[in-house]
């Protein structure tokens, strides 16, 4: 969070363009689903389940703003389970992992001496993953994303589906967004 604040805000000469979804889209399979519906905000609903006494089912609805992202999402660490560590190492997946940058769940608890940063840190990290994967679109998004047990592959499939069909979205300028919101407030 400190690094984000140190980086600061840069004023751009051009108006920011947003990708606004115009109709619902979804990707599903194997009991997992991700869908996106039109909205004039960027809202994420994430639902995860891991068969672990500390994790279990966690849900988070989150409107993404710079301040909320820095405070509530960016500090959430990736996580894994102690019984999967050898397999993950053999697959070359956790080369840079340590107890400083990742949470390791044991059978009954957390291996990290300081514990969790948030009681629902796993779902917050899944929101972080989702934001990063949606950044592949290349523009700020206006839409509500509802994710149920989805992961990186399904996120990327959603992005691909959106980007391959221009009828699913419109690109609007910030002033168009302000006008649309103002009109909605007086209607």
DSSP state of 73: I
In sequence order, the β-bridge partners of residue 164 are none
Active-site residue flag, 152: yes
Do 25 and 169 form a contact (C-beta atoms < 8 A)? no
Chain CA centroid to CA 51, Å: 21
- Measured CA angle at 13 (ends 8, 16), to 5 deg: 80
> Percent helix, strand and coil across the chain, each rounded to 5?
35, 30, 35
Catalytic residue (choose from 52, 83, 125, 152): 152
Residues designated catalytic: 152
């Amino acid at each position: 969070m400190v690094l984000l604040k140190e980086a600061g805000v840069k004023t751009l000469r051009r108006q920011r363009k947003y990708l606004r979804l115009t109709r619902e889209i979804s990707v599903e399979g194997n009991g997992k689903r991700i869908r996106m519906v039109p909205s004039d905000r960027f809202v994420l609903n994430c639902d995860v389940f891991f068969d672990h006494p500390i994790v279990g089912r966690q849900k988070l609805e989150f409107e993404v703003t710079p301040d909320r992202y820095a405070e509530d999402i960016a500090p959430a660490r990736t996580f894994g389970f102690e019984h999967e560590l050898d397999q993950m190492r053999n697959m070359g997946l956790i080369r840079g992992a340590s107890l400083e940058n990742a949470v390791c769940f044991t059978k009954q608890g957390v291996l990290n001496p300081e514990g969790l940063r948030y009681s629902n840190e796993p779902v917050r990290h899944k929101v972080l993953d989702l934001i990063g994967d949606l950044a592949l679109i290349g523009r700020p998004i206006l839409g509500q994303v509802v994710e149920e047990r989805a992961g990186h592959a399904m996120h990327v499939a959603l992005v691909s589906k959106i980007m391959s069909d221009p009828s699913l979205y419109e690109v609007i300028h910030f002033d168009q967004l302000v006008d649309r919101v103002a009109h909605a407030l007086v209607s």
